[in-house]
Amino acid sequence: MSRKLPIGKGETPRTACARTLVRTGVDEKTGERLSLSALRLRVGWCADLVSNLAATLLAEHCNTGDVEVLASGVDEGGRALPSNAWMALRRLGWSAAPPEGVKVNDRIVRMAQEQAGRALRSAKWRADLTAGVVAAWPIDPGKRTAREWDAVREAVPGGKYLPSSIIKARTRQAATFARANGRLPVDVFELEGTPKAARLLLLAACDGQQATIERSETGTGQALLRLQLPTRPDPATYRDWTWVACPIALPPTVPAAAVLHLPTLRLAGDTVRADLAYTHAVPKAHRTGHTVALGVDWGLNTLLSAGAVQLNGEGRITTLGAGGQFRAAGVLAKQHRLRRLSERLHTKSKHYERLIAGHDDHQLAPKLDVLRSEIQHVSNRRSNLNDALAWAAARWAVDQAIAARATVIYVEDLRSMEAGGMGRTLNTRLSQQVRGQIADRMRHLATEQGIAVVTVPARNTSKLCPHCLTPLRHRKAPDRPTLTGWKWAICPHQECRWQGDRDHGAWRRIAARGLAHQATTVTDRTSGHMAIRTVLDNLEANAVLTPTPKTSRKDRTKTGPTRPRSTRPAPRRRRAPSPARPRGRVGQRPEGHAHTDRTRLPRAAHRHQGVNTTSTPTTGHQPQGAALGAGFHHHAHASPPRWETIPETQSNAGSLS
């Protein structure tokens, strides 16, 4: 298989990762077919050898001096360090040896050095952040003044654009350490301790002498992974290592022309998972030159509100349709209930720990073990629910952009948002939304289509009118113009008088601001994310929407007298008479569109489906998934994209939903 990826004009290489399972293997030396349990055992032996070596490296070099040396990028002779972590550690002379009597090849040591090097490089940012927070320690750690905020942002590298929530979290962590020890931490390693080495195999640090991967000759949906695994937990000679061939089923998301890379193997429960990296060509996304953009706004129960706008040749910005919404109130309510359950379990677990006081033979020790397993179970449920919600919301937003033929998605930057003034419950729910996960998934899916995702400052996106930039008046509902609220927005300007949903006005402002400021878009060198950092007043004046004049679709000129209409219209009648009632238990043919072969409605039709609740079975039998109205997708309501071609003419008719 060729390792060179052909790149065409207007394309760029992109490396992604797909998760798959390794279910079986064949020992090439004996020809024995390994079951999943046998394969997992042998992978676990190899992972233990690697993690022990990595833990030794981390224990020796997890300090401020060694981390600074590795992060400097040069060795003692002034030569630049390689980009691969294991090569950089070897250049510095940092290595580890297996225990006496255990024989491993050089590639096992490579994987340990790669894992330790990545952990040490990632510790550099946390070390600088902790040092900056401690150096600019405020008088009151719970609330900084404006001057103290400026001081801590100056002390932290890149602190000007760092979300305030990250600085607050690190401050709380240091304050907890100070209360327990009577002083501030010296560095991040005293605050966090030595990181643990995970049980995984970073095969990317190996070459063909340890592992290879090739596509199967029988079909494009299969790949063959060959790697050396030990036959015992403490291999004494090289004869205790044998080659194992593992067939892998490629997910459908991996293109047929993609170049496969060696995966990362890790143990998850009773399975062996492979994080398979692959590189393929995708359309190149551009920073500027956009004429059609999709604006995305965040909400509470209405998680996403989005719509498309167009930049015309005269510099005018008009809307394309009325937009759509992704409502996930049921899913968010379920996540909120799981969070409260997790808090109660943690409180009870800490109470048991205080009662046990370190005695393993205490009578409450078994109950504490049960509580810890239940905490882990609830945590997994919350993680899976957030992951499913993030993928569903991101997929919907990208589909809206594809339907509108947009080349860029402008997302409101709410990384620093901390809810306040809305009550304890709403503040917590707003602060724990999965905005970061949705934005990452959105970038992942948009890159496949060559669509750029740009974050836009959130200043005054819901406060000002999208047509005239006049401060809006927020009311409870459109039919209650005098009752103060936050959902409905009304422009008080006499010549504008725009009114609409608060979230719909926000996505209009976000999209218009993005198109007006697209020349100021910057790309982060580390992450590759695009962002508009600041709002300029001269460009903000052009970030307004031009209302499209309403035109009649037909001539309504009166050509004659109006036909009189009765105040009491005739009742609706059947077009065909109903048959006579036959004898027996059967009844007449129902009128209208009711089914004649269904004795009663489905169970889901009788269940309460409020926006703030999650349905529960009302009978003793098990529900059959979404067919009966249960499951994730029953509680995530999305406006479907309009897949027809959007006309280029200026029109306010139609909607993306």
Q: Which two tokens stand for residue 131?
A: 């040092």
* Burial of 267 per CB tally in 10 Å (0-12, 13-18, 19+): middle
- Taking CA 390 as the corner, what is the angle to CA 387 and CA 393, rounded to the nearest 5 degrees? 145
* Number of residues written out for the chain: 657
State pLDDT tens for residues 538-582: 898 888 888 776 655 666 677 778 877 767 666 655 555 555 555
Q: Using the predicted structure, report yes or no on whether residue 349 has a pLDDT greater than 90.
A: yes
Q: Which two tokens stand for residue 82?
A: 């390689």
Q: In the predicted model, what is the mean pLDDT of the chain? A: 83
Name all domains of the chain by residue range, CATH numbers in brackets.
Answer: 11-35+209-283 (no CATH), 51-192 (no CATH), 292-330+388-540 (3.30.420.10)
Q: What is the mean pLDDT of residues 364-392?
A: 92
Nearest to 510 by CA among 449, 560, 466: 466
Q: Using the predicted structure, report yes or no on whether residue 129 has a pLDDT greater than 90.
A: yes
Q: Using the predicted structure, report yes or no on whether residue 422 has a pLDDT greater than 60.
A: no
Q: Using the predicted structure, report yes or no on whether residue 605 has a pLDDT greater than 50.
A: no
Q: Which two tokens stand for residue 498?
A: 């725009």
Q: Which two tokens stand for residue 588?
A: 């007449």
- Gap between the Cα atoms of 75 and 93, Å rounded: 10
Predicted pLDDT at 442:
94
Helix, strand, coil in percent for the chain, rounding step 5: 35, 20, 45
- State the residue for tokens 């992450």: 527
State pLDDT tens for residues 564-573: 776 766 665 5
Q: How would residue 194 be classed by pLDDT, with cut points 50, 70 and 90?
A: confident
Predicted pLDDT at 434:
77
Instruction: Check if the beta carbon of residue 356 is closer than 8 Å to that of residue 362.
Output: yes
- Gap between the Cα atoms of 376 and 227, Å rounded: 33
Q: Helix or strand or coil: residue 108? A: helix
Using a CB cutoff of 8 Å and minimum separation of 24, what contacts does 536-542 make?
540/469, 540/513, 540/516, 541/469, 542/315, 542/516
Q: Which two tokens stand for residue 551?
A: 């035109």
- Gap between the Cα atoms of 516 and 466, Å rounded: 13
Using a CB cutoff of 8 Å and minimum separation of 24, what contacts does 342-346 make?
342/375, 342/378, 342/379, 342/382, 345/371, 345/374, 345/375, 345/378, 346/375
State pLDDT tens for residues 619-631: 554 444 444 444 5
Predicted pLDDT at 625:
42
Nearest to 317 by CA among 544, 42, 496: 544
